[in-house]
Chain A
């Protein structure tokens, strides 16, 4: 009897401690993912701190109160919560942040959100129709065109745009026109194959 109580007590303690750990970890994560209101020291009071910026992302309007220096990438990830677009180099050298603005691929890390208030922005989250993957997403899955997957959202957005631009006629063209997207795992052959698959059935590739 005594032993059973002890065991129950031990179990309760373990449960409590697990819940506490989970909660504190959740709290930390929540804090880490919550947009932090930065109290950046201003050079001069005339520098505006925040402005109201409305962005249309994947067909939904988002009204944000942000500083002009917030990049489109940071607005998408930190303020709207669309974390599909990835921050790699943050200097437009890796392509992980590629999104479509009015159908054209750009590096969202090297442009300010406030510059795109009149535009239609499409991110990786906006490509699928419900549970139906975009043909480029399906091709990437079919060809196993990713390893760690970090570069994949940017690769897919870039590839969708490449197909719509209509300038790629060969595998060499695909490689050249995907050169703004770096994959450190080296999944390039499968990425080229996936893009080629969609190019050959071009009508399915429109956003």
Chain B
């Protein structure tokens, strides 16, 4: 690991002032992704500003939304009574991610900023357009079983690995930030970028901009929601396909629907067309199947991940069936 300078920040403005002017400075939150990549020399910050002491770990009801502090640990959010009751999809997503030890370390803000990655990104002996722009992509011609079928480009097909973000995208979460140019609110669905020509840019954040909280709006859907994750082993593995689903059903008719996908997209993937396909339809298998077909209509599978198209469809149908109370 490359050596670095280390400082602790006690206040958000202090942290921003330390990181913003230095292009090689980085925030250090839970460290579960950053330190892992530093050990591999994939990330080599020269200056780390430890933001663990920041008073940003509260989970609290506000007038019209639930505010989750950026430094709240994944485990605290997952087991929070309000979240378990009103946003079960988020609790389930968090508990399906990583291990209990990592969930005790990882933070909400850090989770959103974990790198979009694949094993070629982690291996510095391989070309990767995210690590070294223009060096090429080893995955597109390589072993791409785990890679994206939605949102990829000829530069990058790595998936965003977060489960939490998939649930939050379905819940219309809004990211609150504080940066050198003040504060802003960013809908989470717009927060992550598809790779396009610039896969090294993964979010809309400016250098030095700090996530301070994530807001979840009150939602008629959220209480009736579910996260279904399909993976290679029963626990502690990234998603092959995951589905965050929420439905508002009145008299058997779907009045609103939220569907987001993980493991298949280059960013947490909101399936708007599938949601529209469900609107005002009876909550039954035919409607769910039609929505599932719509969700993967634009899929571009690679040599080894074609199975994800069918797997995504079946996972969507199963998740909707569970939420619809028909399982």
A interface residues with partner B (beta carbon < 8 Å): 40, 42-44, 46-49, 51, 67-69, 71, 90-92, 95, 98, 104-107, 110-112, 114-115, 158, 161-162, 165, 167, 175-177, 179-181
Question: With contacts defined as CB atoms under 8 Å apart, how many contacts are there between chain A and chain B in the complex?
Answer: 93
Q: For A71, list chain B residues within 8 Å (CB).
A: 35
A-B contact pairs, 12 of them (CB 8 A): A48-B6, A67-B3, A68-B6, A69-B3, A107-B102, A115-B31, A115-B50, A158-B100, A158-B101, A177-B100, A179-B235, A180-B236
Q: For A107, list chain B residues within 8 Å (CB).
A: 32, 101-102, 105
Known: A42-B3, A107-B102, A175-B234. 16 other contacts (CB 8 A): A43-B2, A47-B3, A47-B4, A48-B6, A68-B3, A68-B5, A90-B39, A105-B101, A105-B104, A107-B32, A115-B31, A161-B100, A165-B100, A176-B234, A180-B99, A180-B236
Q: For A43, list chain B residues within 8 Å (CB).
A: 2-3, 46
B79 within 8 A of A: yes
Contact status A167-B3, CB under 8 Å: no
Q: For A114, list chain B residues within 8 Å (CB).
A: 6, 50
- A-B pairs with lowest CB-CB distance, top 5: A180-B99, A68-B6, A179-B235, A179-B236, A180-B101
Contact status B32-A92, CB under 8 Å: yes
Interface size class of B (residues with CB under 8 A): 20 to 34
Select B5's contact among A47, A90, A162, A177, beta carbons within 8 Å.
Answer: A47
B321 within 8 A of A: no
Q: A91-B39, A110-B32, A110-B36 are in contact. Are A104 and B104 (CB under 8 A)?
A: yes
A51 CA / B4 CA spacing, docked (Å):
12
B294 within 8 A of A: no
CB nearest neighbor in A for B40:
A91
A47 CA / B50 CA spacing, docked (Å):
16
Contact status B1-A69, CB under 8 Å: yes
Query: Quick one: CB contact mask for B1-29 with A, threshold 8 Å, 1 for yes?
Result: 11111100000000000000000000010
Select B104's contact among A48, A67, A106, A112, beta carbons within 8 Å.
Answer: A106
A19 to chain B, nearest CB (A): 41
Select A111's contact among B4, B5, B6, B31, beta carbons within 8 Å.
Answer: B31
Q: For A162, list chain B residues within 8 Å (CB).
A: 100
